[in-house]
Homo-oligomer: A and B are copies of this chain.
């Protein structure tokens, strides 16, 4: 039986949640793993089952765990490479989801722009991997992306042949560099297409483009990837509910 660490003025279920979260952060429990049942956890930490439930519920709320009736509690596998669907309409005729194909136009190692370095939390002048990607549906370009990855953390990624890189990057980061994207912050605005983007996206110069900046982080909160995506506003619609 482990003791419950941390400030004992905090509620037990919170300290327990912290202890469980730590196991996810340090990868002793990996995405997809089943974790011990609530009774086992309760016994291990010396709390009542109800208190363990409360801790687990908090982590479900945070999006770290998933519970499945009769099967167990699992570390959630974050897979929001498709999160573009929250923004753009790529549905086919039947309304089904399509994953746009991906064409890597350029990959190189360069000194990062200072704003990118700042957001990735590395020192000014650091080197990183730069990529330009184009995403297409039925051969028609719909999104232009710039991506920066910090070095040396993503060194192994350079060994991968660009031809082997499919549309989903995060599973590749996970497999090749042991870097798991757990969450991301996105910010959104619009701008007029300049000459380069107009040519790339095959729209007229000045066409309104939606610009989505994304900073992806791992469970520990370290920034893993900086990304800027631009696509024609016409294809774009974002819905949200407020209360």
Contact = CB atoms under 8 A, between A and B. Distances in A.
Given A83-B242, A206-B206, A208-B208, A236 B189 contact: yes
A86 interface: yes
Nearest to A241: B185
Interface residues of A, number: 32
A177 interface: no
A86 B184 CA distance: 18
A208 B233 contact: yes
Nearest to A182: B243
Contacts of A209: 190, 208
A183 interface: yes
A80 B243 CA distance: 7
A198 to B, nearest CB: 13
Nearest to A183: B243
A210 B190 contact: yes
A233 B184 contact: no
A131 B86 CA distance: 31
Question: Sorted from nearest, which 9 A-B pairs have the closest CB atoms?
Answer: A190-B233, A63-B243, A190-B190, A208-B208, A190-B208, A188-B238, A183-B243, A187-B239, A189-B237
